[in-house]
Amino acid sequence: MWKYIVVPAKGAIFVVDDLLQEFLIYLQVEKGLAKNTLVAYEHDLKKFISYLKQEKELALNEIDKNFLAAYFYFLRKRGDSPASTARELASLRGFFKFLCMEEYLETNPTIYIETPKLPQKLPRVLSEEEVERLLEIPQGIAPLTLRDRAMLELMYATGMRVSELVNLTIQQLNLDFAYVRCLGKGNKERIIPLGSQAVKSLQVYLEKGRPLLVKNPRETALFVNHHGRGITRQGFWKIIKQRAREAGIYKEITPHTLRHSFATHLLANGADLRSVQELLGHADVSTTQIYTHLTKNKLREIYLKTHPRA
């Protein structure tokens, strides 16, 4: 089986699979990317390498824009969505950029390939009234009920990512000064303030809920399951789905719904874009701007309903 590449920049022969592993280690150690992101990079690049081996036994330094164009045509013909194709191109760009940076290659052929234009997909959000109903659903003093209420309150109070929420430790929480230290993408830390309702729910959970759930006194996870271990993304997904049904909310809900709602409601009530960007942990403000479209749609809806000559 073909598996080698000749690299003129270093005048040697390298195993392409080894270069892929070196790139993944770089992403993990130097860039601090999350496990799910690393898995996506590996999946995309293994797919490309498989195509490379089956179609033409080319060295990486022999790949040009025409070969890449043929590869992406193959992906589209196979049925890959524009979003998948854009992600696969991003993975290839990162890989070839790394190979040039490490002097395995002299030129990066991906610079000639345009990113496919994607239709803007607005995230689904809950109305403020729906959020109120959802947050009021977990009632009672059962440990899991107290946990659910604290999780939902904290998610809506901070807008943090689900991965950030489920990975929180007790040490990251400061209820005396009402803030949480959140570790985001690339292990970048941000301080997020907490509202009074979130603080109250967390205090009750820490005093009367978590101690009854935790089996191991060394457990540091803030939110734990009924086994006393840290809750997972899937666990939170089940919680929000169940609680939404109990609240009579039947629209499609994902684990990020409260994050999207948090950002949209802040902007709708007068928060500036840069502040929301910082709270969400977005590296680029353009990522945050998608929520301004949602607030504009809401304003138009209100206008059409209330203006006498609309």
Which pLDDT score is estimated for 3? 46
Which among 66, 88, 112 is the end of a domain? 112
User: Residue 251 domain-assigned?
Assistant: yes
Same domain, 228 and 258: yes
Question: Per-residue pLDDT tens for 69-108?
Answer: 889 888 888 888 888 888 899 999 999 999 999 888 888 9
Catalytic-labelled residue, pool 210, 259, 260, 265:
259
Task: Return the CATH number at 139.
Answer: 1.10.443.10
User: Residue 14 domain-assigned?
Assistant: yes
Please confirm, yes or no, whether 307 is among the known catalytic residues: no
Question: Per-residue pLDDT tens for 191-226?
Answer: 999 999 999 999 999 999 999 999 999 999 999 999
Same domain, 134 and 212: yes
Please confirm, yes or no, whether 227 is among the known catalytic residues: no
Task: Return the CATH number at 93.
Answer: 1.10.150.130
Please confirm, yes or no, whether 161 is among the known catalytic residues: yes
The model carries a pTM of 0.64
Question: Per-residue pLDDT tens for 105-154?
Answer: 888 999 888 876 655 666 788 999 999 999 999 999 999 999 999 999 99
Cα dihedral across residues 283, 41, 261, 186: positive or negative: negative
Range of the domain at 15: 4-112
Please confirm, yes or no, whether 226 is among the known catalytic residues: no
Same domain, 150 and 60: no
Question: What would you report as the CA-atom Rg of the chain, rounded to the nearest whole angstrom?
Answer: 24
- Total structural domains within the chain: 2
Catalytic-labelled residue, pool 47, 76, 229, 282:
282
